[in-house]
Structure 1
Amino acid sequence: MSRARGDIAEERAVQFLRDSGFRIIDRNVSSRFGEIDIIALRSDILHFIEVKSALDYELAIRNITPKKLQRILRTADVYMKKHCLEIDYSIDAVAVMPESIEMLENITI
């Protein structure tokens, strides 16, 4: 996916999250382990969110591999320690398709 398409998908995801009651805390956070597209807060839970753009939901979600999840988790741990946070958190994905946006919460490896 081109960087421009990725940026558009991320902007659509941010608007979707705001409309769903999330407060955006940070974006494009990186560590030596990887990058997290969006960090958002809702109901006292911090959400580390991977944005995937594809023609359909299944293809978007399939692109989140166990290795990618491990990198997100490690980056989330770094973020939590760096900011001295001790709150519940969730690893999530937002699939951005041409006609819809869907969220998958609490992804596990």
Structure 2
Amino acid sequence: MKGAWGERQAQAYLKRKGYRIVETNFRTRLGEIDIIARDGPYIVFAEVKTRRDSRFALPREHVTAAKRQRICVTAEQWLQRNPGAGQPRFDVIEVYGEEGAAPRDICHLIDAFGG
């Protein structure tokens, strides 16, 4: 499954950058967050988009306003269950490549929802 492969690649990437993975695939009836990680004072809610290439559109373009809203509402629910977790931040991680191989590229958009 391409999405699961991309999420594993994004987790490994974040770990290499010193992030601590807190939870993956957090789901509520309102939405899902692919990766929740700690980065210093921040609790990072990361949406992962996996593509072979960006020929037709950048993966980040598929994180629509409606998708951002669902992620924010789901993050609020997680924060209510985990008070004092840290300052929330929303990132998008684009993973380019084919399942079963190393990713060709990973693009990490920090604070992608505009703070």
Using structure 2 for the length normalisation, give the TM-score: 0.86
Match of 2:100 in 1: none
The structure carrying a bigger helix percent of its residues is 1
Provide the secondary structure at the position in 2 that maps to 1:17. Answer: helix
Match of 2:108 in 1: 103
Of residues 86-95 and 13-22 in structure 1, the stretch that sits farther from structure 2 once superposed is 86-95
| Stretches of structure 1 lacking an aligned partner (at least 5 in a row) | none
Of residues 49-58 and 77-86 in structure 1, the stretch that sits farther from structure 2 once superposed is 49-58
How much has 1:86 moved relative to structure 2?
A: 5.3
Provide the secondary structure at the position in 1 that maps to 2:59. Answer: helix
Deviations 1:19-69 (A, max 9, x none): 111000000001121000000001121000000011129521111001000
- Which amino acid is the alignment partner of residue 102 of structure 1? C
- Which amino acid is the alignment partner of residue 110 of structure 2? E
How many pairs are equivalent?
106
Partners of 2:72 and 2:45 in 1: how far apart? Answer: 8
Aligned CA-pair RMSD:
1.5
Partners of 2:105 and 2:74 in 1: how far apart? Answer: 28
What is the percentage of aligned positions where both structures have the same residue?
Answer: 30
| Stretches of structure 2 lacking an aligned partner (at least 5 in a row) | 98-103
Runs of 4+ displaced beyond 3 Å: none
